[in-house]
Amino acid sequence: MKAFSEIYQTIPGILLLLAAVLLVLGQFGNVLRAVQKPRQLHQILLAALHLAAGFTLLFLLLYGIDEEDHSLFDPAPERQDFSRVLMAVPAVIYAGAECISAGLLYLQSRIIRRYRIRHLTPDAVKEALDHLPVAVCISDLQGNVFLSNLRMNELTEELTTEHLLDAHSLWLRITELGTPWKDGYLLHGDAGRVYLFTKKPMTVQETGTQRPFTCITASDMTEVYRITEDLAAKNKHLKEVQFHMRAVAAYERSLIAARESIKARTAVHNQLGSVLLCGKHYLDHPERVKADELLHLLNYSSFFQLVEAEQKKTEDAVYQAIRFAKRIGVTVKITDAIPEHPRFRDLLAQAIEQCAANTVRHAGGDCLRVTLHETDTHCTAQFRNNGNPPVQPVTETGGLLYLRQAAETDGGTMTIMSEPVFLLTVSLPKTENS
């Protein structure tokens, strides 16, 4: 067997020296990994002893080479003797020691790796947190960040153009830029993404005491937000369609009623025409017509004429407007008696129809309250509904604009109040020309 002094300058000797260096580095890494494991003192001691043994082997190799070459230390007889002993050791013994050290290094690395797989370590927690799709930031009550994953760091830079340094500043920025939604704030990011930021308290058991912390999370709500917006738009469209369907149904019923009325009037007119013809025939030829039958026919025709005239007299524009409101699902409740002023009754009917339509279309209500007030000079009506109050000031377009023009044409006024509830007031003076 060759001594180490014979091969230390050859490739096998250099490989032995390099292997000793690598073993020391690996043993040092095992010591660092063992220190990170809680309550594993025996593993730390084994790793430290293994490192000391590997370092000793490397030191002996380097010491023997150094004394052989007289390059670093001053030559001394006792050192030269010890160096000769080290150099005279067979190289295979050094190689065997390194193989044993490598085996121990492998076994200890497996033990440490198995422990990391089977036990929850701080590195495992951080790695798992970084792979979450939800952004997480945990801080104390003073705003000092203790833990945050990569997603939270990315979102902070993307939405606030700042680095995550203080949790209080982050949440303040979120409240400034975000829109309140449920129990958090919505923020719009790049590429149309929408994120929901929430803030909740949490406690951690530490050395027998409860320590308070704050947890800020951010979830990707793009799909939920888009679906919610689509549903809101569709609900608004459905309400408009529902209103139009009610109006069409009411109009259809009005057509049916008008058609029946026309049929009845046509029958009455035809009957009246026949009576007139009979009367003319009686006047021309009294000897050919029985007077009793002609009198009975005249009474029957007069009865239908009187009923039609009475219907025309009682069913004016106000009652027609109330029936229109009922057809579209709105109950009209009128306080006090309706004034007999003809122009005011026409204006009141137009206002009832318009307010009933707006109650269904915009307020989502089903009841219209009309308060009337009559003095010696003016007639006034106030309209309220049980629906939702307007979110924005009411814009006078369409029917409301025509209603104002009708009131002002006759010298009256119209006012609209949006807060705290919707209130429309029309007033008309009692003048000769109105």
How many angstroms from the chain centroid is the CA of residue 216? 17
Helix, strand or coil, per DSSP, at residue 427: strand
Closest CA to 406 of 359, 346, 357, 353: 346
Helix, strand or coil, per DSSP, at residue 370: strand
User: Which two structure tokens, joined as six digits, stand for 422?
Assistant: 């919707």
* Structural contact between residues 423 and 382, judged by C-beta atoms closer than 8 angstroms: yes
Per-residue pLDDT for the chain (434 aa), expressed as one digit of tens each? 677 667 767 888 788 888 888 888 888 887 877 776 555 677 778 878 888 888 888 777 776 676 555 544 445 555 556 667 767 777 788 788 888 888 888 887 887 777 666 665 666 667 777 777 888 998 988 888 888 888 888 888 887 777 888 888 889 888 888 888 878 898 887 777 888 999 999 888 777 788 899 999 998 888 888 888 888 888 888 888 877 777 776 666 666 666 666 766 665 665 566 566 666 666 776 776 666 666 665 665 566 555 555 555 455 778 888 887 887 778 899 988 888 888 888 889 888 888 888 887 778 888 999 999 988 888 999 999 988 888 777 878 777 888 888 888 888 999 988 877 888 999 999 875 44
**Could you count the other beta carbons within 10 Å of the beta carbon of residue 426?**
23
User: Residue 128 phi/psi, 5° resolution?
Assistant: -65, -40
Which residues have CB under 8 Å from 333's CB, separation 6+? 367, 368, 369, 370
**Could you count the other beta carbons within 10 Å of the beta carbon of residue 171?**
19
* Structural contact between residues 65 and 79, judged by C-beta atoms closer than 8 angstroms: no
pTM passes above 0.95: no
